[in-house]
Amino acid sequence: MATDRQSGSTPAPLAVLLDALDLETIDHFIFRGKTPPTRLVRIFGGQVAAQALVAAHRTVPDKAAHSLHAYFLQAGDPAAPVVYEVDPIRDGRTYATRRVVGVQEGRAIFNLQASFHRPEAGYDRQIPFPDGAAAPEDSAPWEGFGLPRRAAGQPEDPLPSPSLPFEMRVAPPAGGYTRLLWFRTIGAIGDDPTLHDCVAAYASDLTLLSVAMESWASEAAAAGRPVSLPGFVASLDHAMWFHRPFRVDEWMLYAQASPSSGDGRGLALGHMFGVDGRLAITVVQEGALRPPLT
């Protein structure tokens, strides 16, 4: 989608996302989030993770998130709001910890543990930017998941909407990664680093687990085994570490790989780099990947 990033106007899909992240405050540690219209039969996991991080951030005004660990407990209903209950486990001088439970109609659907940190001086090193990665302007528009299709019993489309709030371009694999995906929001979102954290949490769940499926499919095809989509796919847990400042409305490279699949699960690893080569975020996700019923 072409966007005039200087006009000051917010494109509609991005405005919808930002509105979903503007939680209603019910009490000091209780917040309510809504789900935008979606084609999914369950709430997109990245939305719940982003909203839960917003709720946690609201109760820690003087520190930045440095990590989160989350579990998707049950499928959420897009037609019902999610209430986020924040437990202020600890407030220290340098670190603070929050536990957030997403509740829908009396049942817990999501659990997040987040840690916050006051910036301080320290050693600074990182893994290298993927060697040979193409620049965004030299990368192709992303056209979806490179997964095989089955003739019947298709799983639902994994994306929450056909109009995403992100521009995405895919570069040829490099640096040992299976997929290199450039992304940025389709418009500017301001300078609040908290909002950039939460939008990155949303984006982190859009494509990562599929790399585990694609890796399995590619290896199966190379070995001459039958290839088809799993019959059931769902995120189980999700972890993020925020290493360095970044802007999600500027190009970021999401370098993705899958270390392992087995026992009905797939594991995916992602590194988000700024266009300047600095490692901003590490993401790890595991999901249920069950074969189709026969």
- Strand pairing of 179-185 and 252-262? antiparallel
263 catalytically annotated: no
Q: Say which of 205, 210, 249, 261 is annotated catalytic.
A: 205
Q: Say which of 51, 104, 235, 261 is annotated catalytic.
A: 235
CA dihedral over 75, 262, 68, 170, signed as positive or negative: negative
Sorted by sequence, the CB contacts under 8 Å of residue 102 that are 6+ apart come out as 48, 51, 52, 76, 82, 83, 84, 108, 109, 110, 111, 112
Could you identify the residue written with the tokens 């999401």?
Answer: 254
Residues in the chain: 294
CA distance 182 to 142: 9
Burial 146-174 (b: 16+ CB within 10 A, else e): ebeeeeeeeeeebbbbeebbbbbbbbebe
CA distance 166 to 177: 21
Helices (H), the chain: 12-20, 45-58, 193-204, 210-222
154 catalytically annotated: no
CA distance 172 to 165: 23
CA distance 7 to 86: 37
Helices (H), 151-288: 193-204, 210-222
CA distance 167 to 48: 21
285 catalytically annotated: yes
Tell me the catalytic residues.
Answer: 205, 235, 285
